[in-house]
Amino acid sequence: MSQKIIITGASGGLGAPICTALAAAGHHVVGTMRSTGGKNEAVAQALGEQGVHLVELDVTDDASVERGVEEAISYLGGLDVVFNNAGIGSYGLQELFTPEDMQRVFEVNVLGVQRVMRAVLPTLRAQGRGTVLYTSSLIGRIASPFYGTYSASKWALEAMAENYRTELSGFGIETCIVEPGAMPTAFLDGMLVPSDPDREAAYGDLARAVEPALAGLQQALEATPDQRPERVVEAVVQLLAMPYGEKPFRTVVDAMGIGSLIERYNAELADVTRDVHSMFGTEAMLSMNTPS
């Protein structure tokens, strides 16, 4: 069944192919990006040719989000699905990130999501139905050296999604988190690095391991051909093809062996979550897409 979908971060390595695939599957898709010109001009043109309608929307700006969401809903004639996909990566020794550096990451990965949610939820609540998707990460579940700031933002996103899931369940709004492993996309090339290198020398050998560790990840990706963005695209298309209210809460997408461990963690957390809600009498709030 065709659905009316808004996807943020449409210019990115996952956003663009997801927009294209969903449009090809017969959905009505609005992709958002900060600007359709400049470095995004080519991808914007390609998306338009594939039937994706584009709206300029900066998730770090309240007015831009409100204006962009209003334009998207008006164009679609309604709204069924919101996909919080816009994100920014970061890499480096955590102490070297200034508070301003960290704020840049959180402005997109956390506060940007909150801005979008506040813009779309009045519509979804009023109609008593809707689907909200989030792009998280495997390292939104575990900490990994040199990704501390990015992981912290994705951990926060996971908590937001968990809470929205319970608080919105009474409005018939289902929640899905997609947790990909590292993928060979331009995302890796565009990661924010810390702006305060003066403290780097104090870390000695560990500081010298930062760049080799990133190179090692890229080599591992090259050696694992199944670890490809298309798998994330396929997972999202399959999720939205599932019956309403029956989608899994979390979907792991990984071919490098870490994903199976995260699935174990997710299953344990699901049991703990149910037990905690049972203690407080709020288990009914988990009725829609119970974690799996």
Catalytic residue among 153, 154, 164, 169: 154
172: confidence class by pLDDT, cuts 50, 70, 90: very high
Task: Specify the pLDDT at position 287.
Answer: 63
Q: How far apart are CA 27 and CA 25, in angstroms?
A: 6
* Helix, coil or strand: residue 4: strand
Mean pLDDT of the chain: 94
Task: Specify the pLDDT at position 1.
Answer: 85
Catalytic residue among 91, 134, 136, 153: 136
Task: Specify the pLDDT at position 289.
Answer: 55
Residue 247 a catalytic site member: no
Catalytic residue among 91, 134, 147, 150: 150
Percentage of residues of the chain with pLDDT beyond 90: 85
Q: How far apart are CA 110 and CA 107, in angstroms?
A: 6
CB 275 within 8 A of CB 268: no
pLDDT in tens, 193-203: 999 999 999 99
Catalytic residue among 11, 137, 153, 169: 11
Give the count of beta carbons closer than 10 Å to the beta carbon of residue 153.
Answer: 26
CB 232 within 8 A of CB 259: no
Model pTM score = 0.93
Residue 154 a catalytic site member: yes
| CATH of range 4-286; options 3.40.50.720, 3.40.50.10490, 3.30.590.20, 3.40.630.30 | 3.40.50.720
CB 164 within 8 A of CB 175: yes
CB 149 within 8 A of CB 97: yes
pLDDT in tens, 225-245: 899 999 999 999 999 999 999
